[in-house]
Amino acid sequence: MILRAKAPLRISFAGGGTDVPPYPAQEGGLVLNATINKFAWGSLRTSKDDQITVDSADMGISLSYRVGTALAFDGRLDLVKAGLRRFCDGTEQGFNIFLQSDAPPGSGLGSSSALMVALTGLMKEFRNLPLTDYETAHLAYEIERKDLGIPGGLQDQYAATFGGFNFTEFSADRVIVNPLRIRQGIVNELEHNLLLCFTGTTRRADHIIDDQSTRFREHVAPAVEGLRRQKEIAVEMKNALLQGRLSEFGQLLDEAWQAKKNLSSRISNSHIDDLYDAAKAAGAVGGKITGAGGGGYMLFYCQFEKKHRVAEALRALGAQPTDFAFEPNGMQTWRVNEPAA
């Protein structure tokens, strides 16, 4: 038996940070995001022995264990081990897992969480678990954030599971995903005018997120005000998107970036500032980092006639513009009718 899964990566428009504890429990979070046609991929092939083999194309690591082995976190594919710990209790059949992502960890596109969602989808099918989308996303969140202890928010797991454009609400014990029905013409124009660009470096988000959370707990005014403004902008941006006011959407991206930088001094750096200034000088209306900050991808809104100039300005500073389209579907699994190894 061969099982496949794919889960889309996402770009976050506004509200990022308000999904990171303890903010949702205290003030409630709001995030506006959308999934794109870049994916985390997974494949599971059952075997006739008692071995569990994991191959990561991104990390260049291959691990093999006997079924029932206690998996220790040692820095080698710990994300996958955390998932297997949850799902493999009582399993007697061996299997081989292959995992690959279209973007590296630290890209700011939620790739690690999408990979966990894809792995959860594979194991859900392998164990015949009747999980809803909400249960799948919550389980992926718990494995990554609680079992493994990686700091971060909740938006990535829900975006990868549900897919599409979503306005998501976060509270102490509840997540509500509100799918947005964006007219296709608006989606086309948004794709026409948005520019996604890799800064040239990835980053470790945990230090940034820890700093942001500490500043909120200690009631540092710029951080608290920045998070509250993020929520307001998420609402304003949602309305602009639904009504097709895309120039205003682009201006709100700029406001979201200014508010985001107040959350932690580690979110931006001189290279990111130079890229942003160059993009604005070349004609970008607004833009922002797509993840926690410090590196990864940046997203810019430009009038299409100026988009090529913005791309040239970014390339001159060592950044790498990349094509993308929006992906309407969330995590998907399917079976392949080929004989097992």
Share of the chain above pLDDT 90, in %: 77
| Each residue's pLDDT tens digit, 57-73 | 988 999 998 888 888 89
Question: Could you identify the residue written with the tokens 């504890």?
Answer: 21
Choice among 202-206, 243-247, 271-275 with the minimum mean pLDDT: 202-206
Mean pLDDT of 80-86: 91
**Tokens linked to 163:** 């897919």
Report if residue 333 sits inside a domain.
Answer: no
Tell me the residue range of the domain where 97 lies: 2-181
Q: Which has more confidence, 293 or 42? A: 42
Choice among 31-40, 50-59, 276-285, 323-332 with the minimum mean pLDDT: 50-59
Choice among 55, 102, 156, 254 that is catalytic: 156
CA atoms within 13 A on the CB side of 252: 23
Beta strands 95-101 and 51-56 are parallel
- What is the tally of structural domains in the chain? 2
The values of phi and psi at residue 322, to 5°, are -140, 145
Of 165, 181, 197, the last residue of a domain is 181
CATH value at residue 311: 3.30.70.890
pLDDT-based confidence at residue 205 (cuts at 50, 70, 90)? low
Report if residue 251 sits inside a domain.
Answer: yes
CATH value at residue 109: 3.30.230.10
The model carries a pTM of 0.94
156 is catalytic: yes
- Helices and strands of the chain, counted as H and E runs: 11, 12
Shared domain for 128 and 265, answered yes or no, is no
